[in-house]
Structure 1
Amino acid sequence: MKKHIITYLAIATIIVAVASCQPSSKDGQTISKEVKENGADQKIKPDDSGYADVNGLKMYYEVYGSGKPLVLLHGSFMNIPLNWSHIIPQFAKNRKVIVAEMQGHGRTKDIPREFSYENMADDVSGLLKHLKIDSVDILGYSMGGGVAFQVAVRHPEQVRRLIILSGTYKHDGWWPDVEASFATMTADMFKGSPIEKQYDSLGNDPKLFPQYVKKVLSIDLKPYDWSKEVKNIKAPIFMAIGDADGVRHEHALELFRAKGGGKMGDIHGVPKSRLAIIPGTTHIGMMQHMNWIIPMINDFLDSDLKPTPPTF
């Protein structure tokens, strides 16, 4: 009983965090994105939006801005407005930002196909072909981080650089109590939350919400381990987690070491891949501290990524 109470409180905290840091939409349609800059509200609307026919899905997407393409992949139970509304305007200043909603999320209706990171990665690949874009940078958060890893594993020619925020490449990349909590989550924990309201408002049958929750959770209820494949990804990787994240520090460090990190850069040079552990930051807090993280991401994407030679 105690374990279930703790899990319920954890989910309630997530719901409050989501509600407090994201704008709402009354009708579930694409909403204007607002961000305060220099004291003034800035609004941004997509330059393009629609549905791409990929792998049996009608995958909803939006495109903003111009420049080098950057794909944003949302977390579990999220959609474009819930996950990215306050972030899109910052990247769209000098990049083409592509955002999509994964299987069963937002405006992308579910199909009779299991939820898997591999399937969703193939969907992202199909969307890029639909948009006639050869190569992109990909930023994935939480579940989206797992999808991003799989895009780079399965479709390496389409990935230039990879940014993983609070994502895992192995099921035990989560702290043990976090991994154990997935099996205890139910639709009742989302009762009245922005997640449930968005699901209902986007034309989904409210009676199917429990099935939706169960299906989304299913991808983390079975073991997976892509360690070998992920460590062999050729694209440079920037992985960031919070110091109070659900992702184990050692999990992120293991990948960083495999990509050439874990040595004194002044002696051995700085590797192409990067690691950041953000202070005072939880899993959900990663989205709330993007004002810290976006400059790091921009520096990573804009650098030539040649290994920095030793200084002595």
Structure 2
Amino acid sequence: MKKNLGFFLLLWFFLGYSQEKTIVSDWTSFTQAVNVENKPNWNFRITVKIRKDNEDNGSNCGLWCRINNKDESTSFFENQYYGIQVTHEWKTYEIKGTINPSAKTMNIGAFAQNNGDFYFDDFKLEVNDGNSKKWIEIPLENSGFEKDITSGGWFEGIHSQKIKHVKHFTIETSDYKPFSGSKSLLIKGRGIIGTMPHGKYMDVNGIKLYYETYGEGEPVLMLHGNGQSISAFMNQKDTFSKKYKVIIVDCRERGKSTYDKTKELTFDIQTEDIKQFLEKLNIKKTKILGWSDGGILALSMAMKYPEMVDKIACSGANIFPEGVKDHDLKSMKEMLVSLTKDNKDHKNDIFIDLLNLDLKYPQWKYEDLNKIQCPSLIIAGDNDLIKTEHTVKIAESIPKGQLAIIPNANHYVPEEKPELFNELVIDFFENK
């Protein structure tokens, strides 16, 4: 599977927004919340019919479920987008699990990502108390979408996000080939970067890297994070392409880029990918904007190939795994154990590769950063999953390092506060 996979996309995107607003993202969800406080330790199963109509452009959709506890923590989360490939034909998809004794709300949703037409029909929730084989259906409002979707029951995002709308998506009912009844749910994605018709592939280092370019002028290379792809920079593309030739690439094993299963995923091999990629584009020198793991790659390029790097701006980067906050590092390790244990038919191989990448690498020392001679802007949110003291030390260790800690922000500064982030980076790039 060549998708936007990884730890961060699995969970953190569902936790990252707190204000009701229209956001720019490459995904959306349409959700119904069900109170399950009176069903402790009950089993549940959710089914839905799904199909899609779009070209084979890397986009997909799926069923997802998240259970919130009374303290707002998460006791269950599964998004089938990451393990299925929806086709043009209607098919039944299912999620099963157990309701935690501390559970309060079960969020059931349709998930769609990137460009395409995604259809959903006949959502169904059933439970049993574990002592009986009989399943009891809990009615979902407008489960077959025969009524107008604005009549209630369903909403975009989940309650903790309070998303008003996700730009580039429309959500409506459709009478085109429903599974049953006269209508189904239709989510349309349009104009989302990362699956655009003008995208190209480049053969480098034994793989194919997918990339898209926008604008003209001095080059700016944008490198995404661990579980992301080109679409991570949806909030940056338009602004930066007014001044620069923006080049955004899917790193190996992400988005539409391929990978060599016989080679370990490391930052070293990805650095070589980027170096060869720039050479084939005949780019002698470039500015680099890197987010999370992309920031690590920007630091690596500046250390290994300084002649190719003009300036770097890195958001949420670390130089050794312990730079991640202890709680988040522990969660990643626990997820790795779980995915490895449940890796039937190698279905979790890419997840495991991505987690191992950040749990094992990089292994630099602060003094290694002394090699970086280009101006370097080191950015993080004040509530980033990277330790603030680690971010500060990175900036201090680079001879021409500058530091920006963004208030009231987390690891998703580029999409959480895009106007501030874009202005900050462009001002740094433009400053002579």
Q: TM-score range by the shorter chain?
A: 0.7 to 0.9
Change beyond 3 A, Cα 1:28–1:248? farther
Amino acid at match of 2:331: S
Amino acid at match of 1:98: I
Instruction: State how far apart, in whole Å, the 1-side matches of 2:8 and 2:237 are.
Output: 30
2:57 to 29, 35, 47: 29
Query: Structure 2 matches for 1:44-193, cutoff 5 A?
Result: 49-81=199-231, 83-111=232-260, 112-185=262-335
Change beyond 3 A, Cα 1:237–1:9? closer
How far 1:49 sits from its partner (Å)? Answer: 3.1
Contact in 2 for aligned 1:281/1:289 (Cα 8 Å): yes
TM-score by length of 1: 0.75
The structure with the largest strand share of the pair is 2
Contact in 1 for aligned 2:9/2:228 (Cα 8 Å): no
Instruction: State how far apart, in whole Å, the 1-side matches of 2:200 and 2:8 are.
Output: 37
Contact in 1 for aligned 2:215/2:246 (Cα 8 Å): yes
How far 1:278 sits from its partner (Å)? Answer: 0.5
Query: Does 2:360 match 1:222?
Result: yes
Instruction: State how far apart, in whole Å, the 2-side matches of 1:209 and 1:80 are.
Output: 23
The number of residue pairs the alignment matches comes to 262
Contact in 2 for aligned 1:242/1:286 (Cα 8 Å): no
How far 1:185 sits from its partner (Å)? Answer: 1.8
1:232 to 347, 354, 371: 371
Deviations 1:129-187 (A, max 9, x none): 11000000011111111111111111111100011000112222112222222211259
How far 1:50 sits from its partner (Å)? Answer: 1.4
Give the root-mean-square deviation of aligned CA atoms: 3.1
SS in 2 for 1:132: coil
SS in 2 for 1:113: coil
SS in 1 for 2:426: helix
Instruction: State how far apart, in whole Å, the 2-side matches of 1:184 and 1:14 are.
Output: 19
1:12 is matched with 11
Instruction: State how far apart, in whole Å, the 2-side matches of 1:151 and 1:106 are.
Output: 21
Instruction: State how far apart, in whole Å, the 1-side matches of 2:332 and 2:251 are.
Output: 20
Contact in 2 for aligned 1:242/1:278 (Cα 8 Å): yes
How far 1:10 sits from its partner (Å)? Answer: 10
Instruction: State how far apart, in whole Å, the 2-side matches of 1:187 and 1:23 are.
Output: 29
Contact in 1 for aligned 2:250/2:257 (Cα 8 Å): yes
How far 1:228 sits from its partner (Å)? Answer: 2.2
| Percent identity for Structure 1 against Structure 2 | 24
SS in 2 for 1:71: strand
Change beyond 3 A, Cα 1:44–1:281? closer
Change beyond 3 A, Cα 1:230–1:28? farther
1:248 to 368, 382, 387: 387
Instruction: State how far apart, in whole Å, the 2-side matches of 1:9 and 1:298 are.
Output: 26
Q: After the TM superposition, which segments of 4 or more aligned residues of structure 1 sit over 6 Å from their partners?
A: 43-47
Amino acid at match of 1:184: E
How far 1:110 sits from its partner (Å)? Answer: 2.0
SS in 2 for 1:115: coil
How far 1:29 sits from its partner (Å)? Answer: 2.6
The structure with the largest helix share of the pair is 1
Contact in 2 for aligned 1:73/1:144 (Cα 8 Å): yes
Deviations 1:37-73 (A, max 9, x none): xxxxxx7987963111111011111111111110000
Instruction: State how far apart, in whole Å, the 2-side matches of 1:178 and 1:28 are.
Output: 35
* Bigger-Rg structure (1/2): 2
Gaps of 5+ in 1: 1-7, 37-42, 190-205, 261-271, 305-312
Instruction: State how far apart, in whole Å, the 1-side matches of 2:304 and 2:234 are.
Output: 29
- Higher mean alpha-carbon deviation, 99-108 vs 280-289, is at 280-289
Instruction: State how far apart, in whole Å, the 2-side matches of 1:71 and 1:143 are.
Output: 14
How far 1:94 sits from its partner (Å)? Answer: 1.2
Contact in 2 for aligned 1:47/1:63 (Cα 8 Å): no
TM-score by length of 2: 0.55
Change beyond 3 A, Cα 1:208–1:139? farther
1:293 is matched with 421
Amino acid at match of 1:220: D
SS in 2 for 1:281: coil
